[in-house]
Structure 1
């Protein structure tokens, strides 16, 4: 299987939003009422990513994974509010491609790109109840650092854990 990892282009944020919607709906199925996704369809996330990319494209980096021209995953990195850290803000894979190694490729690429932010470590936030994602990150060398927060996902407050990974 040949997968192309490439920097995002201006045409990518809308399809990224649609993929993000599919990924969240699958990954958070046991954590959120599925009805919360109905009012926040792929169009809403497409608009959100398009707007975010417009404002952050100079300071953040989006990498997309595609096979035969089909978008199958993406990652999004940038500077962090956490002192001394850069952040992996998003890593999502189309549910049909979960378990194929695409996520691992995107994580390795992100870890290779994060040092550009001149930080000693990388951080990310993961839903406390998302055991699959937690195992995935832990197998990639990420560890919880003890920081927690409660943040809304589809207007539902959910506990999150911060993970960290050394850079360089």
Structure 2
């Protein structure tokens, strides 16, 4: 069973949305209300990715992971917004997302997407990388810590559907 990473194309965006919705539902079900997770459908997530990609495809990279021709994960990277409060500084890239099909957990796909994202940062000349992770998502926090990411003390509030969430920023140097 071969894993392949490649840049996303427009025809992938609906499937990315559906995978994103499945991934979030599985990863967040232990700490977010079911109604919050159900508030954002796979179709809505597909529309979200279609719209976002139309604005950001020249400055961001959406990478898909396929196993034997089936979409099993994706990552999304781009420049970190230097205007963001408590900005991590110039020359910083942001890992906006790594999401996997729930059945793909533990198969090395997330690690492959992270390594690929760090290589993209290096190619774009970014020396530091940041990401945001839900504070209650201990599985993801442990995954990022194993990859050399560390919380820097900056936090923010966000929302998933109608549920407020608390997010922690992680940073790491780009190798």
TM-score normalized with structure 2 length:
0.92
For residue 13 of structure 1, report the CA deviation from its aligned partner: 1.2
SS of match in other structure, 1:100: coil
Any idea what the Cα deviations from partners look like across 1:12-58, whole Å, max 9, x if unmatched? Answer: 11100000000000000012111222231100000000110111000
Matched, 1:112 2:119: yes
Matched, 1:86 2:119: no
CA RMSD of aligned residues (A): 1.1
Aligned partners of 1:57, 1:160: CA distance in 2, in Å? 25
The 5 Å alignment of 1:1-168 reads: 1-81=1-81, 82=87, 83-84=89-90, 85-168=92-175
SS of match in other structure, 1:91: strand
Tell me the number of residue pairs that the alignment of Structure 1 and Structure 2 aligns: 168
SS of match in other structure, 1:160: strand
Q: Which runs of 4+ in 1 moved over 6 A?
A: none
Any idea what the Cα deviations from partners look like across 1:74-114, whole Å, max 9, x if unmatched? Answer: 00000011322110000000001111111011011001111
SS of match in other structure, 1:11: helix
Aligned partners of 1:32, 1:70: CA distance in 2, in Å? 28
CA contact (8 A) 1:78 1:117 kept: no
Structure 1 window deviating more from structure 2 (6-15 vs 69-78): it is 6-15
Aligned partners of 2:116, 2:127: CA distance in 1, in Å? 17
Structure 1 window deviating more from structure 2 (29-38 vs 95-104): it is 29-38
SS of match in other structure, 2:11: coil
Q: Structure 1 residues 39 and 152 mapped into 2: Cα distance closer, same or farther (>3 Å)?
A: closer
